Structure 1
């Protein structure tokens, strides 16, 4: 299927995404929240961009192809928190630590690639603010599974692909259940529980809990 990493899985899938009315209200929340978010975070993003450019070489905005709904690739936006060329160092670090899909996914508490400004931005989740643009473009939702890299998603089995039944989110069940401290299986269980038991009320609860998660800083690195 052109434009997709693979055809949407049909086996071992308990649901095929959200119902029409669920999508409608979820999209309304997305557009309204993204517009407000861009307005509120714009001053902080401008200051962050200035700080990033002063501290290190490279663009202030980091872009990467991620897997969206049904595995459709899209370009995700973030404020850069790592040194230039950090992606080239990732696989060597994974091999050195034995990290794979059963371990915490590609997060290191003492990652040498993260800059000082980047650590501050990650601590307060300011680096994610440009993703309000992804939400307005319809590529992401305010709440949903985290958008994963395409090379990781290409290794999913049919059961794991269920997390691609909905749009990825700026925040989600992972962020309010441990963030980067969760291993892959626990993260998957949280996200599938969210998808299979979806409700608009659940989105609002996750949004409220996300504020507490950002303030506490638990699992943010």
Structure 2
């Protein structure tokens, strides 16, 4: 009942309320992005959804428009050169993810779930297949995000995503939700170009 009906109802309600309440913040961020650099306010990127379907994820644009497309940040030779000043702040505070409330309202994503992989991240997609993590709705945040985020190597991230699939429940989603708030306030695991950094420390 929770996985099939209640979870979706909570997602739709919270994403709608969140968009209304945060609309003044949205407006401020839109102005800041437009003032600093040329290009659209929103950034669209092809991602993997439930059952490995495709959808376009929405984010506030944090990079200059000449940045190589469809390439994970950690694979860029020097990620910092592509990130705008406003973008650096948005990424550090995770505010760049706010437009994904639209994805949640549309039914592309859930609030809690494995973060959606890029369409060409074959290594992550293959690892998630081992745990059934490609067969649940991807999320705005999840168990892996509060246990390392950018610092996690792909096999570890996929295993944590699999653990989420096994433990998915209202109580566990609440735990992930409040864990995310703590992680964001502490800026835990945010490393530009840093997939696997935890293992290097």
Shorter-normalised TM-score: what interval?
Answer: 0.7 to 0.9
Of the structure 1 ranges 199-208 and 34-43, higher mean CA displacement relative to structure 2 is found in 34-43
Aligned partners of 1:91, 1:207: CA distance in 2, in Å?
Answer: 25
1:114 to 69, 79, 83: 83
Aligned partners of 1:24, 1:92: CA distance in 2, in Å?
Answer: 35
1:29 alignment counterpart: 10
1:208 alignment counterpart: 178
1:64 alignment counterpart: 45
Q: Is the 8 A contact 2:70 2:118 kept in 1?
A: no
1:179 alignment counterpart: 149
Which is greater in Rg? Answer: 1
Q: Report the CA distance between 1:153 and its aligned residue.
A: 3.9
2:196 alignment counterpart: none
1:81 alignment counterpart: 62
2:23 to 7, 26, 42: 42
Unaligned regions of 5+ residues in structure 2, if any?
A: 193-201
Of the structure 1 ranges 148-157 and 204-213, higher mean CA displacement relative to structure 2 is found in 148-157
1:190 alignment counterpart: 160
By relative contact order (CA 8 Å, sep 6+), the higher-ranking structure is: 1
* Cα shift readout 1:164-184 (whole Å, capped 9, x = no counterpart): 110110011122111111111
Q: Is the 8 A contact 2:51 2:134 kept in 1?
A: yes
Aligned residue for 1:62, secondary structure, equals strand
When the two structures are superposed, what TM-score results if normalisation uses the length of structure 1?
A: 0.78
Aligned residue for 1:76, secondary structure, equals strand
Q: Report the CA distance between 1:43 and its aligned residue.
A: 1.3
Of the structure 1 ranges 148-157 and 36-45, higher mean CA displacement relative to structure 2 is found in 148-157
When the two structures are superposed, what TM-score results if normalisation uses the length of structure 2?
A: 0.86
Aligned pair count reads 189
Could you say what the CA RMSD is over the residues aligned between the two structures, in angstroms? 2.2
Q: Is the 8 A contact 1:176 1:206 kept in 2?
A: yes
* Cα shift readout 1:83-107 (whole Å, capped 9, x = no counterpart): 11213494897385xxxxxxxxxxx
Aligned residue for 1:47, secondary structure, equals helix
